[in-house]
Amino acid sequence: MKFVMSDTPLAIIILAAGMGTRMKSDKPKVLHEVAGKPMINWVLDSALKLKPQKIITVIGPDMPALKKAVAPHETVIQKDRNGTGGAVKCALNALKDFKGDVVILLGDCPLITSKTLKGLIKARSEDLLTELSVLSMELEEPKGYGRLITNKDGYVTAIIEEKDAKAKEKAINLVNAGAFCVNSEKLSSWIGKIDSDNAQNEYYLTDIVKIASKEGVNCASFVCKTPSELKGCNSRADLAEIESIFQDNTRNSFMAAGVTMLEPNSVHFHHDTKIAQDCIIEPNVFFGPAVKLEKGVHIKAYSYLEDCIIRSEATIGPFARIRPGTDIGSDARIGNFVEIKKSKIGKGSKIGHLAYVGDTIMGEDVNFSAGAITVNYDGFQKHQTIIGKNVMVGSNVNLVAPVAIDDGAFIAAGSTITEDVPADALSIARDVAEVRQGWAAKYRKLKAAALAKKKRSKAS
C-alpha cells in the first residue's frame, strides 16, 4: 500500500512527561533503550520521516536528559502530570500560530513506523466530516489499552480506558494504539472541553473522540495490520518484549537480504547494525553499536563486536572481541580469544589465537602468533604500534609501544621488543638458553633416592 502525503501542513506532538512509575526507574521511561536507542528517539525518527513543520515533545519538570535527547526540537514542560489530555494542552501554546494537521504520538510506543503514520494521516482527511483519526489495532488480549466504541458506519464514537471499562466494553478487541491525527483548530477546542471525571481523575486525551462525536464530527479508525509495532512500554517486561519484537524483525530482514544465521534467536543486534549479503553468523554473537560487516564475512560463535568494520570475506572468532575503532581488512583471520581495539588490520593478516592488539596499524599478510600482545599503555597514556606488511610476530611477543616493525621483519618468539625493527630484519630479545647435559636424569635419581630414604625411616 502506498500513501500519497497530503498537502496539509503537519505538526507533531510527542507525549513523554509521564513518570513511568511502573518502570521502577530513576530515569524517565522514554529514555530506556530498545536495541541501544532511547525509545523517544525511535519515535522522533519516525516522526521526522513525515517532514513536519514542528515537533514538540511534552516532558516533565527535571528531565534535562530528555530535553537533550530530542534537541534541537522543541520541548514544553507539563508541571502537573494530570493525564495525556493535560499533556497535549501544554503543547498547544507552542502551536498557537500553526494551522493544519496535528499528529499526537506517545513517547512510549517506539516501534511505530512512518508508513503506519502516513495511513493515519490519510484517514484523517477521508471525507469532509472526518476531522480526526485514531490509530487502532485488533488484539486477542486487549488488556491495558483503551477500547474503541464504533458506530454502524465504522466511525469511533468513544474510547473507554481499561480502568473505566465495564465487562462488556472490556470484551472489545479493537483498541487505541495511542496515536491521533487531528485538525489543529478542532484540537484546541476539544482539549478545552475535556474533564477529569473518570476512574483515574486524569484528563484523558482519548476523550476528544467522545466530544467530537457529540459535535457530529466523524472520527476514523485506521487499523494497523502489524500490531507488534504498536506495543506500548509501561514496564520492564514490556521493554523486553519490544526489544524482542525489534530483534525478530531485524533477524528476518537480514535473512531476507541474504545473511545466513545458524541460530537466529541467539544473535543480538543493535539498531544500526549493517550486514551485507552472504555473511554467516554463528550462534551467540552480540553486535554492539556501529558494526558494519561487508560481503561474505563469517562471524563464528560467541563473538562480541562494537563500533568496527569487518571487510569482505574476513573471519572473526569463535570467542573474539572486536572493540571500538577497529577496521579488519578483507580475508583477515581473527581467531579465538583475540581482543582487538582501535586498530587497523591489513588484508589477509592472521591473528589466530590468544592475542591483544590495541592502538595498532597492521599491514597486509602479517602473522601475529599466539600469546603475542601490543603493550599499548604505560599507566598514563596509550601509545601506537605500527607493523608493516608480511611481518611474522612469533608467540608470546610483547611489542612495547610506541614501536614500529617494518615490512617483512621477523620477531622471535618470547621477545619483548622496545626498539623499532627495520625491514626484513630478525629481532630477538630473550635470554640464550643454557643447556646442561644429563642434568634431568641426575636430578630424577637424586629425588628418587631421597624419597626412598624417607619411606624407610617412616616404616622403622
Q: Which residues sit at the interface with ligand UD1, rule CB under 6 A?
A: 15-18, 30, 58, 78, 81-84, 86-87, 106-109, 145-146, 159, 161, 175-178, 204-206, 232, 234
| Residue position matching grid coordinates 476512574 | 199
Q: Which partner in ligand UD1, Ca ion, none is near 254 (CB below 5 to 8 A by kind)?
A: none
Phi, psi for 330 (deg, rounded to 5): -55, 145
- The residue among 331, 359, 355 whose CA lies nearest residue 411 is 355
- The residue among 228, 18, 13 whose CA lies nearest residue 111 is 228
In angstroms, what is the minimal distance from the CB of 355 to ligand UD1?
47
- The residue among 373, 375, 364 whose CA lies nearest residue 393 is 373
Cis bond leading into 402, ω under 30°?
yes
Chain position whose Cβ is nearest to ligand UD1 = 146
Site residues (CB under 5 A) for Ca ion, limited to 336-375: none
Residue closer to ligand UD1 (CB basis): 107 or 363: 107
DSSP 426-449: EE--SPPPP--TTHHHHHHHHHHH
Residue closer to ligand UD1 (CB basis): 224 or 281: 224
Grid cell for residue 429: 630479545
Residue closer to ligand UD1 (CB basis): 191 or 205: 205
Residue closer to ligand UD1 (CB basis): 174 or 425: 174
Q: Which partner in ligand UD1, Ca ion, none is near 206 (CB below 5 to 8 A by kind)?
A: ligand UD1
* Angle, vertex CA 277, rays to CA 271 and CA 282, nearest 5: 70
Stretch that binds Ca ion, among 32-40, 107-115, 201-209, 311-319 (CB under 5 A): 107-115
In angstroms, what is the minimal distance from the CB of 108 to Ca ion?
5
Residue closer to Ca ion (CB basis): 108 or 359: 108
| Residue position matching grid coordinates 629481532 | 427
CB neighbours of 101 closer than 8 A, spacing ≥ 6?
A: 6, 8, 9, 10, 11, 121, 124, 125, 181, 182, 183, 184
Q: Which partner in ligand UD1, Ca ion, none is near 110 (CB below 5 to 8 A by kind)?
A: none
Residue closer to ligand UD1 (CB basis): 206 or 326: 206
Site string for Ca ion, 203-232 (x = CB under 5 A): -----------------------------x
* Angle, vertex CA 396, rays to CA 393 and CA 307, nearest 5: 70
Q: Which partner in Ca ion, ligand UD1, none is near 317 (CB below 5 to 8 A by kind)?
A: none
Q: Does 331 bind Ca ion (CB under 5 A)?
A: no
DSSP 32-65: SEETTEEHHHHHHHHHHTT--SEEEEEE-TT-HH
Q: Which partner in Ca ion, ligand UD1, none is near 58 (CB below 5 to 8 A by kind)?
A: ligand UD1
Phi, psi for 390 (deg, rounded to 5): 55, 30
Q: Which partner in ligand UD1, Ca ion, none is near 320 (CB below 5 to 8 A by kind)?
A: none
Residue closer to ligand UD1 (CB basis): 221 or 376: 221
- Active-site pick, 32, 270, 298, 353: 353
- Give the integer Cα–Cα distance in Å for 380 and 377: 7
In angstroms, what is the minimal distance from the CB of 39 to Ca ion?
11
Residue closer to Ca ion (CB basis): 101 or 108: 108
In angstroms, what is the minimal distance from the CB of 59 to Ca ion?
16
Q: Which partner in ligand UD1, Ca ion, none is near 92 (CB below 5 to 8 A by kind)?
A: none
Site residues (CB under 5 A) for Ca ion, limited to 147-186: none
DSSP state, 250?
Answer: H
Q: Is 383 an active-site residue?
A: no
Are 322 and 305 within 8 A, CB to CB? yes
Grouping H, G, I as helix, E, B as strand and the rest as coil, residue 30 is: helix
Grid cell for residue 341: 581495539
In angstroms, what is the minimal distance from the CB of 291 to ligand UD1?
30
Stretch that binds Ca ion, among 23-31, 105-113, 310-318, 326-334 (CB under 5 A): 105-113
In angstroms, what is the minimal distance from the CB of 390 to ligand UD1?
58
Are 15 and 59 within 8 A, CB to CB? no
Grid cell for residue 130: 472526518
In angstroms, what is the minimal distance from the CB of 360 to ligand UD1?
46
- Give the integer Cα–Cα distance in Å for 220 and 134: 6
In angstroms, what is the minimal distance from the CB of 172 to ligand UD1?
12
- Give the integer Cα–Cα distance in Å for 13 and 47: 9
Single-letter amino acid, residue 460: S
Q: Does 108 bind Ca ion (CB under 5 A)?
A: yes
Q: Which partner in Ca ion, ligand UD1, none is near 145 (CB below 5 to 8 A by kind)?
A: ligand UD1
Grid cell for residue 413: 618468539
Q: Active-site residues: which are they?
A: 353
Question: Could you list the residues that contact Ca ion (CB under 5 A)?
Answer: 108, 232, 234
